[in-house]
Amino acid sequence: MQNRRTTSLTRRALSRRSALLGGAGLLGAAGLAACGSDDSGSGSGSGDGGGGTITLGFIPSWTDGLSTAYLLQNRLEAMGYTVEFNEISDAALLYTGLANGDFDIYPSAWPEVTHAQYMEQYGDSIEDLDAYYDNAKLTMAVPEYVDISSIEDLQGQADRFGGRIVGIEPGAGLTAAVQDNVMPEYELEGDYELVTSSTAAMLTELESAVDAEEDIVVTLWRPFWANSAFPVKDLEDPKGALGETEALHFLAREGFGEEFPDVAEFIGGIKLDDEQYGSLEDTVVNEYGEGQYPEAIDAWLEENPDVLPAVEEG
């Protein structure tokens, strides 16, 4: 069972995340919602730190991108740039928009494994500004009280899980990995359905199951705050169907580095280890939460003054 502190933390974080995703649901058919000035262009202005505009595109329910977007906003504004956000609802729309130059930077991409199919399609029109974290991986997980330890153990036990694997967004790379690789590799097709909806919906089901000590299997990933907020354990993947550990990258539209060389150099120098990344996401999502993301970044930078490359303030 969760203790009271963990349950309270989970509910606060889940509430914030659900509210955030609810806002993202208003994006419309195009999947893009500009936040900031009325300027619809991307990359306007010069690259000398003298007032140019840089637009960040990210999926707000994926809190690695949320956290790094606000981190970049803080630092790029300190360099003299105006920063705007495009909140996007789907990974395919995100890569399409970046390749088309609809925004400048995707601040936390999974291009090596999880989003490899999008890079194959759009990579020629995308610049890789470098990786900032090198220990990311996709997972499937169950609550700690569930007496299985491997994806293989799901075979023949569909009834106890209601024949469901609870997933996230349909367009997520994690969804494709489970549907196309995990389920056939482990012979789960026919017995289990991968239920897709949204990250917030998955977390709601996970919380309800944990509170009732019911069996549930969900799709997750690391790094992600939910792994510490909920009493869950990763299922072993002896066949490697979920793919190898990969790095998280900053991606940009084609030509960004030439137009904004100082920004590209700064971003390329950002490197976070497990502890640094974990504290960033926890501060943004759990300690502060929706409506206080800029304040969360200020607090994190105060606690981690020497983690990021120095910037020449504009």
Residues 24 and 191: their CA atoms lie apart, in Å, by 33
Q: Which helix (H) or strand (E) holds 214?
A: none
Which residues does 118 contact at the CB level (< 8 Å), separation at least 6? 91, 92, 95, 111, 173
- Phi/psi region, residue 250 (left: phi>0; alpha: psi -120 to 50; beta: rest), is beta
Taking alpha carbons only, the member of 114, 75, 58 closest to residue 268 is 75
Which residues does 274 contact at the CB level (< 8 Å), separation at least 6? 135, 223
Q: Which two tokens stand for residue 149?
A: 């330890």
Return the pLDDT at 309.
95
What is the greatest pairwise CA distance in the chain? 62
CA of 96: how far to CAs of 39, 121, 150, 240, 263, in Å? 20, 9, 36, 29, 22
Return the pLDDT at 48.
53
CB 199 within 8 A of CB 170: no
Return the pLDDT at 238.
97
Residue type, 184: P
10-residue mean pLDDT series, the chain (314 residues): 35 40 31 36 51 94 95 97 95 96 97 95 97 96 98 97 97 95 97 95 97 98 90 97 96 97 97 93 93 98 95 76
Burial 243-278 (b: 16+ CB within 10 A, else e): beebbbbbbbbeebbebbebbbebbbebebeeebbb
Residues 59 and 91: their CA atoms lie apart, in Å, by 8
Output the CA angle 14-20-23, nearest 5 degrees. Answer: 145
Return the pLDDT at 39.
39
Return the pLDDT at 42.
55
Return the pLDDT at 146.
98
